[in-house]
Structure 1
Amino acid sequence: MIHESAQIHPSAVVEEGAVIGADVTVGPFTYITSNVEIGRGTEVMSHVVIKGPTVIGEDNRIFPFAVIGEECQDKKYQGEDTRLVVGDRNVIRESVQMHRGTVQDKGVTTVGSDNLFCVNVHIAHDCVVGDNIIMGNNATLAGHVTIEDYAIVSALSPVHQFCTVGAHSFVGGASVVVQDVPPFVMAQGNHCKPFGINVEGLKRRGFEKPEIRAIRSAYKEIYRSGKTITEVMPVLEEMAKEYESIGQFTTLIENSTRGIIR
């Protein structure tokens, strides 16, 4: 179903069964398959491929040569009915790729809202990408990666399978992430190493000084106290009673399958 207010360029191919919402624009030479749903106000520019099952929310901007909802690059994928779900108000720049999930995991790749994906970003199968995230040019996520809210993954940085990049963290350019990056941490290098707390980012997002000091103290417990992670965890749990944000450290550590960067 194509809403009467949608604008579809005559050269675009939109298969019967696709759901195109109000005020959507579809540019020339774009191809949209039948099992795609696009929400109100989304702008799909020229030469875009959107395949499904895929659901795209409202007010997104999708730039030329993006490939959204293609089958994943995984040899175990055998054509199963998996999905991609994208939220609202994302900017998806040129040649970005977002692939559907696999039945061996959740069966869905999930992308949140208010994100910026720069040129050539790759989001592989079964990734979970949160809200207010920035991924620089050529940043790439392997399968099963989680990127938490407000994280930044800078240009040319790949993230290994099953890794998590924590909320409000900052991964510098041309870094290689092979273990989890804790929340609030600045990380850089090949392989990625911690270099303190993303203080400026926290200030921009309204964190008060006492909470930032507590986050710094938690960082020091993890990285400078000489304690093992087992020894650090009770300290972090006690700190989290005063500041809930400290609990993000403990949650990531408890759920980690690859360990954290050191």
Structure 2
Amino acid sequence: MSTIHPTAIINERVQIADQVEIGPYCIIEPDVKIDSGTKLMAHVYVGRYTKIGRNNTLFPFSVVGVIPQDLKFAGGETHLVIGDHNVIREHCSIHRGTENAGGITKIGNRNLIMGHAHIAHDCLIGDDNIFSQGATLAGHVEVMNRVILGGYSGVHQFCRLGNYAFVGGYSVVTQDALPFIKAVGNRAKNYGVNNIGLERQGFSKEDIRNIQKAYRILFKKKLRLSEALQQLKEQYSHSERVLELVAFIESSERGFLH
């Protein structure tokens, strides 16, 4: 059985599963689905066409699923999908997608989104990421898995942050941040492999060495990019991590941080 505070305003077209808690003064627009175990504390606002998975916690004054801040948005049916076990802290804002870009903003599982963070329209967020206080994503940003964004960092629209990337506080990212690296500064630069972070995530010494060697081939040997990538494919065909790095670079549209 769900618990709903009498001051909450919930449209009749909202679907609420069992064991959901909805606190005082929450507002939930039509066509919203909330799965079991999710808790909305006081004053949470959930916009239309939002789907919230299991065991999420939304803290006071968080706003999710409202229309995008895009002048081209014409009011169509677009969506926000939030996965399971996410924590969305005070005053966060997460906007739904736009009509011309797939129509969806997506949040994966087990993400910690700290206070005042902003995730704009059409962003695609993977799993196990940490958005520190005030971290901000422009539209169409892709954040893969186990990424850490430092406090008040900003990411330009259409950029991608690869797996295990680390973005320092107050940094401004204007190109793709490669997997496994540290990006710091305004404008952000690539400060090398995030060795300590990878160790904490359980990477083997061999994997870290391979990533470091791949980094040197990419940035230290003064090869053309095509030559460096070919060399990595030939020398590290056995390394899943290096091949992941190669694939990320080959699919980059904005270029990547150096």
Fold agreement, TM-score > 0.5:
yes
| Contact 1:112–1:131 (CA under 8 A) maintained in structure 2 | yes
Equivalence for 2:102? 106
CA RMSD of aligned residues (A): 0.9
What is the Cα deviation at residue 238 of structure 1? 2.4
2-structure distance, mates of 1:110, 1:151: 16
2-structure distance, mates of 1:129, 1:240: 28
Cα distance change on mapping 1:35 and 1:225 into 2, 3 Å: same
Partner of residue 34 from structure 1, selected from 18, 30, 41: 30
| Residue 215 of structure 2 is aligned to residue 208 of structure 1 | no
1-structure distance, mates of 2:108, 2:236: 26
| Contact 1:155–1:174 (CA under 8 A) maintained in structure 2 | yes
Matching of residues 129-208 of structure 1 within 5 Å: 129-208=125-204
Partner of residue 7 from structure 2, selected from 8, 11, 16: 11
Equivalence for 2:248? 252
1-structure distance, mates of 2:237, 2:230: 11
Equivalence for 1:22? 18
SS class of match (1:247): helix
Q: Find runs of 4+ consecutive structure 1 residues off by over 6 angstroms.
A: none
| Residue 124 of structure 2 is aligned to residue 128 of structure 1 | yes
| Contact 1:121–1:135 (CA under 8 A) maintained in structure 2 | yes
Aligned length: 258
Task: Point out where structure 2 has 5 or more consecutive residues left out of the alignment.
Answer: none
1-structure distance, mates of 2:68, 2:179: 28
2-structure distance, mates of 1:194, 1:181: 8
What is the Cα deviation at residue 209 of structure 1? 0.4
TM-score by length of 1: 0.96
Which amino acid in the other structure matches residue 163 of structure 2?
A
Cα displacement string for residues 138-169 of structure 1 (whole angstroms, at most 9, x for unaligned residues): 11000010001001111111100110011001
Partner of residue 60 from structure 1, selected from 35, 47, 56: 56
Equivalence for 2:218? 222
Cα distance change on mapping 1:239 and 1:46 into 2, 3 Å: farther
Cα distance change on mapping 1:44 and 1:245 into 2, 3 Å: same
1-structure distance, mates of 2:127, 2:234: 28
Equivalence for 1:79? 75
| Contact 1:171–1:188 (CA under 8 A) maintained in structure 2 | yes
What is the Cα deviation at residue 249 of structure 1? 1.3
SS class of match (1:210): helix
Task: Point out where structure 1 has 5 or more consecutive residues left out of the alignment.
Answer: none
SS class of match (2:94): strand
| Contact 1:239–1:246 (CA under 8 A) maintained in structure 2 | no
SS class of match (1:245): helix
Equivalence for 2:111? 115
What is the Cα deviation at residue 200 of structure 1? 1.8
Equivalence for 1:46? 42
Which amino acid in the other structure matches residue 145 of structure 1?
V
